[in-house]
């Protein structure tokens, strides 16, 4: 039993009234734009998150970085190896505890993060061009409130210090 198109159209229109559905649709659209804009930079989201964390926090122990990024040790080592080969971070033994590695972003890593941030700002400016600055602030505040009120662990990434 298939649905006729006359039933589909009103159902789609009704479904669009749900904010969650609209957020899901917009999320996919903005994700496509970010992927397209970020592709020339060559970083994946985990690599970007690691470099941003290192830029913001400074030198940090490898284990602490993994905990902050919620990445298990073996995946973190592979991630850091790739970033180190590219010259975007450096690792060294902690002089106070030779078993511990300290990870630090390099100037090349900082420059790449700066490029990511400029690109992200351009994508956001284009995507939200129909909103003025006050409306963007209001939207960001509302989304933060929703993210903080949910029990979904993935919203931890959203509700950082900015919320």
Q: What is the pLDDT of residues 112-148, one digit of tens each?
A: 999 999 999 999 999 999 999 999 999 999 998 888 8
pTM: 0.74
In sequence order, what are the beta bridge partners of 103?
Answer: 60, 91
Query: What DSSP element (H or E) covers 42?
Result: none
CA 24 to chain centre: 16
Place of tokens 């209001």: 138
Any idea which of 12-16, 29-33, 54-58, 100-104 has the lowest mean pLDDT? 12-16
Q: Are 83 and 65 in contact (CB under 8 A)?
A: no
Class for domain 11-151, per CATH? Answer: mainly alpha
Q: What is the DSSP letter of 130?
A: T
């Amino acid at each position: 039993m298939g649905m006729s198109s006359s039933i589909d159209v009103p159902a789609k229109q009704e479904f669009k009234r749900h904010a969650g559905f609209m957020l899901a649709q917009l999320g996919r659209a903005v994700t496509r734009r970010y992927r397209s804009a970020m592709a020339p930079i060559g970083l994946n989201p985990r690599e970007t998150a690691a470099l941003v964390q290192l830029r913001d926090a400074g030198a940090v122990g490898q284990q602490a970085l993994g905990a902050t990024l919620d990445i298990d040790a073996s995946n973190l080592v592979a991630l850091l190896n790739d970033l180190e080969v590219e010259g975007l971070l450096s690792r060294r033994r902690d002089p106070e505890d030779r078993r511990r590695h300290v990870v630090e972003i390099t100037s090349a890593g900082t420059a790449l993060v700066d490029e990511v941030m400029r690109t992200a700002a351009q994508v956001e400016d284009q995507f939200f061009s129909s909103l003025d600055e006050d409306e963007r602030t209001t939207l960001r505040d509302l989304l933060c409130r929703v993210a903080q009120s949910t029990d979904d662990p993935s919203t931890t990434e959203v509700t950082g210090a900015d919320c």
